[in-house]
Amino acid sequence: MEIKLDRKSPAPLYLQIRNQIRRLILSRRLQAGSRLPPERELAGALGVNRSTVVNAYRELEADGLIESYVGRGTTVKFIPPGEEGQETDLAVQTPVWKSFYSRQAARMFNPIISNILDLVNREDIISLAVGLPSNEFYPLKEFNSIMSGLICEKGRYVFGHGPTAGHYPLREYLAGFLKERGVETMPDNSMVLSGSQQGLDLAAKVFLEPGDALVVEEPSYMGALQVFAAAGARILGVPLDEEGLRVDILEQILSRYHPKFIYTLPTFQNPSGITMSILRRRELLKLAYRFHVPILEDDPYSELYYEGERMPSLKSMDNHGYVIYLSTFSKMLFPGLRLGWVAAPPVLAGQLVMTKQLDDFHVNSLSQWAVNEFCRRGLLEKHLMRVREEYAVKRDLMQASLEELAPPGFRWNRPAGGYHFWCKLPEGVKAGALLARTIEKKAAFVPSDAFFANGGGTNRLRLSFSRYPGELIREGVRRIFEALGEMFCPGEMSGEVLTRQEVRPLV
């Protein structure tokens, strides 16, 4: 097999190798079943790195021209008669799309969120992976009447463009909503977002250059970790204990790495369910002031408390304008309208608007008008009162299912709010392997590695209880444990709930 490389050509070496082998296969000069040289051997013969040959072989495999088997090496696949005619078209190669990608695109490789969302409407799978509101609680009647009223009376506005920062009456409502929760902010400092996920993306665009450091909790929300990784940031994880972010470790990190910001979920943290104590919040703010580091507070769950009272946000405790506050209607109400918001210090609010205008001009107008109307009629507060009770029942049902069905060595945190149980598998069981078996049993959860930016956390999982009626919660848990039972031989340990102290080793 003769391959000639042109080192002056702008075409990458791996593509030159791929194209020449492709030509040999399609012209049948390399027959089906013939073996290609091992990667190392070909790399040596051509004077290139082994990874160059690996990439060329990967492309050929993706083209359906070769196949690799452990032990048998790489062989040419059978090309059906007729396809060899493509040889005449070889001067025009199909684009190898990856070779055109930006560096940022190459850092977006983890499809876990879209995979989870793909399962959302599958009725044959009980997905305890999705941390979403239950659709049995959607206030459909109210939205039906609000939306049809808006379309009749305000159709010219709700289908037209609106300001990038959002529908002003909704921003006024949000400023009032935050004021009642101790946050002094003006409508002009808040912006409506296409879900708080967009706020994470805007923060990354505004603050992060490749190589910049930022601090996250460990574990942390996977959607944020992916945004920060795509930005090429250096993600520094700080562990949690039962009071939240470990400020002793944070202090060392701040003094050493000068991160751009600290990303934290102080209330009903996703995935651990932990709520940062008031004392810890004060210490965190003090550190932020001392080291001059802004805080990005992500707060989707604080309205969903099932015990005691609502926790004050970091933003409400911040006297020096360091906290950027993100929240969303996705968990309180429903996620499909894609409505979140950010409250930021004035200068930054302007920059965020400028950044958002390049993304999507503004959030869907009808959604904004409808949610504003819903909130202004006092229906959000009413809805929250109802769902707090309903989700507490679901939380207790998951707790009861775990107590009843958990095998020896399986442990979990009982959350006081939010949607998630954070669980630890018996010694030696990997969450990824368990997920593969669980999916065969038509159930799903999120394996813990998704929540760690720098590896670790392979034997934990997140179970969400919010979405299903009680009997399906139990059935989902049962299927996971059935899969687990097939993988794991019970040892001496017995199933148990984590006590407050035992929360520590989990995170």
Footprint on this chain of ligand PLP (rule: CB under 6 A)? 131, 195-197, 221, 223, 265, 270, 298, 300, 328, 330, 335, 340
Looking at the DSSP bridge assignments, the partners of residue 190 are 343
Closest CB 183 distance from ligand PLP, rounded Å: 18
Q: How far is the CB of 472 from ligand PLP (least distance, A)?
A: 20
Q: How far is the CB of 171 from ligand PLP (least distance, A)?
A: 16
Complex with ligand PLP: residue 74 or 267, whichever CB lies closer: 267
Nearest approach, Cβ of residue 307 and ligand PLP (Å): 20
Q: 260 or 338, CB closer to ligand PLP?
A: 338
Nearest to 179 by CA among 280, 312, 294, 308: 312
Give the nearer residue to ligand PLP in terms of CB position, either 253 or 265: 265
**57 vs 419, beta carbon nearer ligand PLP:** 419
* Residue (221 or 488) nearer to ligand PLP, CB: 221
Least CB distance from residue 419 to ligand PLP, whole Å? 8
CB of 193 to ligand PLP, least distance (A): 7
Q: Which of 388, 442, 443, 451 is nearest to 423 (CA)?
A: 451
Cα→Cα distances 131→44, 392, 458, Å: 51, 15, 20
In Å, what is the CA distance from 348 to each residue of 107, 175, 191, 202, 345?
A: 27, 16, 11, 11, 6
Q: Let me know if 3 is exposed, middle or buried by CB neighbors in 10 A (0-12, 13-18, 19+).
A: middle
Q: Which residue has the tokens 């929240």?
A: 327
Taking the least distance from each CB to ligand PLP, the nearer of 60 and 132 is: 132
Cα–Cα distance, 52 to 45 (Å, whole number): 12
Task: List all residues 6 or more positions away from 124 whose beta carbon is below 8 Å from its beta carbon.
Answer: 442
When the beta carbons of 268 and 410 are compared against ligand PLP, the nearer one is 268
State the residue number with the nearest CB to ligand PLP. 195
Closest among 413, 390, 403, 389 to 469, alpha carbons compared: 390
The residues pairing with 234 across neighbouring beta strands, listed in sequence order, are: 213
Closer by beta carbon to ligand PLP, 14 or else 391? 391
HSE-up of residue 376 (Cα within 13 Å, Cβ side): 12
**H or E segment to which residue 262 belongs:** strand 262-264
CA angle centred on 25, ends 42 and 65, rounded to 5°: 85
Q: Is the peptide bond before 187 cis (omega within 30 degrees of 0)?
A: no
Least separation in angstroms between residue 305's CB and ligand PLP is 15
Shortest CB 336 distance to ligand PLP, Å: 9
In this complex, which beta carbon is closest to ligand PLP, that of residue 59 or of residue 217? 217
In the complex with ligand PLP, the residue whose CB is nearer, 263 or 481, is 263
- Rg (C-alpha) for the chain, rounded Å, is 27
Angle, helices 365-376 vs 379-405, to 10°: value is 90
Q: Which is nearer to ligand PLP, 74 or 272 (CB)?
A: 272
Contact 401, 350 (CB under 8 A): no
Query: What is the closest distance, in whole angstroms, from the C-beta atom of residue 79 to ligand PLP in the complex?
Result: 46
Asked if 140 and 474 count as a contact pair (C-beta separation under 8 A), the reply is no
Smallest separation, CB 368 to ligand PLP (Å)? 14
Number of residues assigned to the chain: 507
Residues 6+ apart with CB under 8 A from 68: 57, 61, 74, 75
- State whether residue 184 is helix, strand or coil: coil
Minimum distance of ligand PLP from residue 208's CB (angstroms): 17
Nearer to ligand PLP, 116 or 285 (CB): 116
Contacts of 227 (CB under 8 A, 6+ apart): 197, 200, 201, 204
Minimal distance, residue 11 CB to ligand PLP, in Å: 41
Beta strands at 446-447 and 460-464: parallel, antiparallel or unpaired: antiparallel
